[in-house]
Amino acid sequence: MATPVGSEAKHKSSRDADLHRYSPLSEHGNIRLVRLLPHKDERAPIQCQLFEYPLEELSQQATHLYEALSYVWGSEEDNMKQPIYIHSLDGKGKGDNASAGNVRCLRVTTNLHAALSHIRDRVMDRVLWIDAICINQEDNKEKGGQVQSMAKIYASANRVIVWLGEAAGDTDGAFEALCQAAATGRIGLSACRTIPALLERPWFQRIWILQEVAAARQILIKCGPDEVDGSVFCSGIEASKLLDDDNAHPNLRALVPPITYLMRHVTFWPRAAASRTGAFSLKIRPLAELVDMYHTHKASNQLDKIYALLGMCSDDPKAAGLSADYGVSWEDVFRKLICFSISNRISVRVWGDKQSVAVIRGKGRILGKVSCVQGGDARGDVQKVGITWKNAHGSFVTEEEGSFLLSLQASAKPIQVGDAVCQLEEASNPTIIRLCDGYSAVIMIQAPLSRTYGKRLEHLRRIITSLVDLVLVWDWEVPQYDQGQDYESFKGSQGGSAQPQPALQDDLEKVVRLWNFGILLSAMGKYEDSGNMLRQAIKTYGAVPGCTDTFSSHSAGVEADEEVLTVMHDLARGCQAQDWAGQTPLWWALEQGHEAMVKVLLDGGVDVEANDRGGQTPLSWASENGHEAVVKVLLDKGADIELKDKDGRTPLSWASRMATRLW
């Protein structure tokens, strides 16, 4: 095929007039395919044709005579793009772009241009599906529809070509070493350097490539002129044992095994028919589990972090409004995903500069805690976790600690000893969280225990333990909670939060959060930490500007949101949580002479004559410590001034003792 008439400079000078323009697809379910025209000169301009293909009309199980390309787009800056030339199907103006003439220019990224140059055959046409060429990227409606079909597009191709980029360094040596390892189980010392360098390519970090290789019937991996079969590639990595050591290549271990896990199973995924909603899916795992495994992979558009997984999920997220729609906001999609993964009995706020952080508030029960973690499966799909469960009365069954191992799917954030297993209201599966400083980080949004633990999970859900209010932070970027930040510092590091609100409202929210976190620590058996946190909540409440005798005085002058008011009233009902010394919130308020909090707790129903472990009454304690205002509150609430403690002392005798000491 002759090259287009005129020089490259001529094409650049008339770029707007010569650019390829897409015609709408003529039928729903059709796709475009690109015919890559041959050339014997590797440096010749890339020439091709576009034509429609009725993928939807053909058999679900059919293999079609085209190949699909899996690659990284690379820089999309206009000055970095390279031209390819689209020919109409004939000189009479049929097919895509017919009205614009016989040849038009389409500018693609440098990485795609390089891929086409290496894929192009010397003598025969090559028929391909390539997203950047076959989808009109300027049409969000078409783009959304085509994205929903991508799982089927890749599953129907006779082969998927993985393009890792141009050759650099010793990539041919890496391919050779992988082939040797796959064949013999041995690997040379030089491969310890060349293979990791190959695996650090950007392709392994992108989220779209997961679906592309999972759907493939056969995989060919190319890097420059070098290529290797996908099954040999996976076998070579496994045989090399380079990723077995958690410390040797930690970043690669988190990225590569989950990908090779999908590639190894290319012939085993069920080739399922379309779901009730008409969407094709590979039905690998529920969406929440896929998100847990892969949400730290990268995407240029945040929406793709969810859309790239829809074609792999085994449930039906479309029922919750989750489908590939590029006209909606990330915040809306993120919120729908969380409610779909947990339940609708939660509230969700999305914040941060990249809006990659969700703050989830809801009620839940602590079912257990992680007691041991065995080394993750180097094959990439399983991690073994020991969990110490609570018994029917809500206490941890310590004699069974570490005795029962569960096989869970690998997660983007590794589970650690001490993580909590909690069940949020109406959630189908537990959530694994990590207690930080005043908040909890989501490690696994949905641990599939209903499949792995069966009937015992139903028993666990009936554990007699109180619901606790949870503040969960789900961060899709670098897990900054590992840096020991408290909630305020973490919130500030994200560059923003919820909408601005009055300072008093912020203060009350902090009191509520500290209080709830103290109760959560108590439920986890961390009694000393719980006592310290609850004391801090009471101290913070006492420092709130304008704090007076009643809680209602706060709400009268502040537009406090309903959630804060509800939890503060729950607090006012007087939680009977105890610290390691058996003291309750009433005693912590008495200890600090906190008149307002004492009144809040008594108004909520706390017994005004509740003894401590030493038999001392609240009135005696307040009298001994000289808290006159608190004494007055207790007397107003009916405290008996003649009631004796176990040593026979009355509040009056304690007050006299205090006065004598002061005198």
What is the number of alpha carbons within 13 Å of residue 326 lying toward its C-beta?
17
Share of the chain above pLDDT 90, in %: 25
Q: For the residues 109-138, what does the mean pLDDT come to?
A: 95
Q: How far apart are the first and last CA of the chain?
A: 109
pLDDT band per the 50, 70, 90 thresholds, residue 465 = low
Using H for helix, E for strand and C for coil, what is the string for 420-447?
A: EEEEECCCCCCEEEEECECCEEEEECCC
CA distance 249 to 327: 39
Predicted local distance difference test score (pLDDT) of residue 307: 92
pLDDT at 232 over 50: yes
| Contact indicator for 87, 102 with CB cutoff of 8 Å | yes
Closest by alpha carbon to 585, among 535, 525, 624? Answer: 535
pLDDT band per the 50, 70, 90 thresholds, residue 520 = confident
Tokens 């690669």 belong to residue: 252
pLDDT band per the 50, 70, 90 thresholds, residue 493 = low
Predicted local distance difference test score (pLDDT) of residue 309: 93
Question: What's the pLDDT tens digit per position in 389-407?
Answer: 887 666 777 655 445 677 7
Beta bridge partners of 363: 469
Question: What's the pLDDT tens digit per position in 235-281?
Answer: 998 888 887 766 677 778 778 888 888 888 665 544 544 444 456 78
Cα dihedral 403, 409, 414, 418 sign: negative
pLDDT at 161 over 60: yes
pLDDT band per the 50, 70, 90 thresholds, residue 224 = very high
Predicted local distance difference test score (pLDDT) of residue 355: 75
Predicted local distance difference test score (pLDDT) of residue 445: 93
Share of the chain above pLDDT 70, in %: 72
Regarding predicted confidence, which is higher, 306 or 608? 306
Predicted local distance difference test score (pLDDT) of residue 461: 58
pLDDT at 217 over 50: yes
Question: What's the pLDDT tens digit per position in 582-613?
Answer: 566 677 677 667 676 677 677 767 777 777 76
pLDDT band per the 50, 70, 90 thresholds, residue 492 = low
Closest by alpha carbon to 447, among 434, 458, 469, 431? Answer: 431
Q: What is the token pair recorded at 178?
A: 């992988």
> How many other C-beta atoms can be found within 10 angstroms of the C-beta atom of residue 321?
14
Q: For the residues 65-86, what does the mean pLDDT come to?
A: 89
- Those residues whose C-beta lies under 8 Å from the C-beta of residue 42, and which sit 6 or more positions away, are 117, 120
Question: What's the pLDDT tens digit per position in 88-102?
Answer: 876 433 344 434 458
| Contact indicator for 652, 660 with CB cutoff of 8 Å | no
Tokens 């176990």 belong to residue: 646
- In three-state secondary structure terms, 219 is strand
Find the largest Cα–Cα distance for the chain: 112
Tokens 């969380």 belong to residue: 338
Predicted local distance difference test score (pLDDT) of residue 512: 76
Using H for helix, E for strand and C for coil, what is the string for 133-168?
A: HHCCCCCHHHHHHHHHCHHHHHHHEEEEEEECCCCC
Q: What is the token pair recorded at 330?
A: 């990330």
Beta bridge partners of 396: 390
pLDDT band per the 50, 70, 90 thresholds, residue 419 = very high
Predicted local distance difference test score (pLDDT) of residue 42: 86
